[in-house]
Amino acid sequence: AQSVTQLGSHVSVSEGALVLLRCNYSSSVPPYLFWYVQYPNQGLQLLLKYTSAATLVKGINGFEAEFKKSETSFHLTKPSAHMSDAAEYFCAVKGQNNDMRFGAGTRLTVKP
């Protein structure tokens, strides 16, 4: 069965610093992986998705994620954090019935 694990429920960075949010997956088949962002009082929005076309995936708002099969990871990064990046981030993997398995989420805080 497919699943994801997000390491770190809270991450705090300074404005301008590198953002690294960790996600490891478990899947018996080639995984379809996603990152979502949730701002306060809103639903989840798609940041980016991995579909095996390329291991480095670029998303919106300057975020990108790299698929590493050897490490079963799909970490999310952004070179320089902005105050507006403060939100909760969810990693997810597609299940075999088109359902989505979400991680527990990582809350990103950006300090001025």
Partner 1 sequence: DAGVIQSPRHEVTEMGQEVTLRCKPISGHNSLFWYRQTMMRGLELLIYFNNNVPIDDSGMPEDRFSAKMPNASFSTLKIQPSEPRDSAVYFCASSLRQGFNQPQHFGDGTRLSIL
Question: Does 40 interact with partner 1 (rule: CB under 8 A)?
Answer: no
Question: Does 34 interact with partner 1 (rule: CB under 8 A)?
Answer: yes
C-alpha to C-alpha distance for 68 and 100, rounded to whole angstroms: 20
- Could you tell me the smallest distance in angstroms from the CB atom of residue 87 to partner 1? 14
- Could you tell me the smallest distance in angstroms from the CB atom of residue 86 to partner 1? 17
C-alpha to C-alpha distance for 39 and 21, rounded to whole angstroms: 16
Residue 8's CB is within 10 A of a number of other CB atoms, namely 13
**Which is nearest to 88 in space by CA: 58, 59, 110, 111?**
110
Question: Does 70 interact with partner 1 (rule: CB under 8 A)?
Answer: no
Binding site for partner 1 (CB under 8 A): 32, 34, 36, 41-46, 49, 51, 90, 94, 97-100, 102, 104-105
